[in-house]
């Protein structure tokens, strides 16, 4: 075998290695980085802290050392490398909870093993592994649901003030956040627009968290919370209906249904503000990986502006403008087509 062929084969084997991602997820789930930081450095101490078999854990640690996450020092005591330290709960990147096999996304990672079937059939495969679609399965496991909600809270609350500042709310009297989660975005909008009122629509379980956040932000007198699905009729006649990172979770038929509910509810001069990532999928690792995850889990997808336009048209909407960007998210303003 020539050197170039050998290098290519080595690279391919490295890319295809299935053990590394699961070993790292095992370390995240066992909280090994946190235990080492807390002073548990021997195999015995780590096994006790993580409720693991000592011999099996030692074998895992040896493998993690070959991957550059830990270092074995004198007396068999383990230390973290900079990479291994990124698995700690208090690390700024907050990766541990995403990799926790008992957390909100643990089963999602398992479903990735069905990528072949998803590609052949063009449909989600999560239910093939766990018997139910992702959302229904999550609802049946309260602990994982809470962990998932916490992951999503971080994703939605951090950019909320920036999204609120990226759009002109001056003539908006009432805004409806459709699938608004904990209410962070709606609260940020209303705090910057004291003339406006708001309504948050989400499933009843989620609205409990939203009410708590709204009370904490002293906005209860300006916000109504409605516990229902966004596939049901929405509060009618308001000025702006927001869909913040909602559509990419759904296949086209469902995305059109959600948009149509917004179009039906909007006043004649109302608007629908769709917030989605418009990153190119060509050569973009993060965007293309998210696109595959959406397929595997929900049958959703990352969409281009042209693909969103097709959904808007089918739902009785037309894009009026891209009103702003926040990071990789675009604020796409739509109006209703005259009926």
| Residues taking part in catalysis | 248
Give the whole-angstrom CA distance, residue 326 versus residue 330.
Answer: 6
Element (H, E) at 322: strand 317-326
Query: What are the φ and ψ backbone dihedral angles of 241, each rounded to 5 degrees?
Result: -115, 125
Give the whole-angstrom CA distance, residue 262 versus residue 203.
Answer: 16
CB 246 within 8 A of CB 230: yes
- Return the number of other C-beta atoms located less than 10 Å from residue 94's C-beta: 13
Give the 3-state secondary structure percentages of the chain, helix then strand then coil, rounded to 5.
50, 15, 30
Phi-psi region of 76 (alpha: psi -120 to 50; beta: other; left: phi over 0): left
Query: What are the φ and ψ backbone dihedral angles of 30, each rounded to 5 degrees?
Result: -80, -5
Give the whole-angstrom CA distance, residue 200 versus residue 59.
Answer: 50
CB 325 within 8 A of CB 166: yes
- Retrieve residue 106's tokens: 């643990």
CB 265 within 8 A of CB 238: yes
Instruction: With CA atoms as reference, report the closest residue to 115 among 128, 98, 97, 133.
Output: 128
């Amino acid at each position: 075998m020539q050197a170039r062929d050998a290098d290519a084969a080595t690279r391919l084997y490295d890319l295809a290695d299935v053990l590394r991602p699961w070993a790292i997820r095992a370390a995240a789930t066992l909280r090994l980085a946190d235990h080492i930081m807390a002073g548990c450095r021997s195999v015995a101490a780590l096994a006790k802290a993580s409720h693991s078999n000592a011999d099996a854990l030692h074998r895992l640690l040896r493998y993690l050392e070959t991957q550059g996450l830990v270092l074995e020092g004198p007396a068999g005591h383990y230390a973290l490398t900079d990479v291994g330290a990124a698995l700690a709960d208090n690390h700024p990147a907050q990766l541990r909870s995403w990799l926790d096999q008992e957390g909100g996304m643990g089963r999602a990672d398992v479903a990735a093993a069905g990528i072949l079937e998803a590609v052949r059939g063009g449909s989600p495969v999560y239910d093939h592994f766990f018997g139910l679609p992702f959302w229904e399965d999550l609802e049946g496991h309260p602990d994982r649901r809470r962990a998932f909600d916490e992951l999503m809270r971080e994703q939605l609350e951090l950019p909320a003030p920036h999204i609120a500042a990226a759009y002109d709310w001056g003539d908006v009297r009432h805004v409806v956040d459709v699938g608004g989660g904990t209410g962070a975005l709606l609260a940020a909008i209303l705090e910057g627009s004291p003339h406006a009122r708001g309504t948050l629509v989400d499933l009843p379980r989620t609205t409990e968290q939203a009410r708590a956040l709204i009370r904490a932000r002293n906005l209860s007198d300006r916000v109504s919370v409605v516990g229902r699905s966004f596939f049901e009729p929405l509060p009618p006649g308001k000025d702006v209906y927001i869909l913040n990172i909602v559509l990419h979770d759904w296949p086209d038929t469902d995305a059109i249904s959600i948009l149509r509910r917004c179009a039906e509810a909007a006043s004649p001069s109302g608007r629908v503000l769709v917030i989605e990532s418009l990153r190119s999928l060509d050569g973009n690792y993060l965007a293309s990986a998210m696109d595959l995850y959406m397929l595997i889990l929900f049958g959703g997808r990352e969409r281009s502006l042209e693909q969103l336009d097709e959904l808007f048209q089918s739902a009785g909407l037309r894009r009026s403008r891209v009103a702003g960007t926040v990071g990789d998210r675009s604020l796409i303003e739509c109006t209703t087509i005259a009926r």
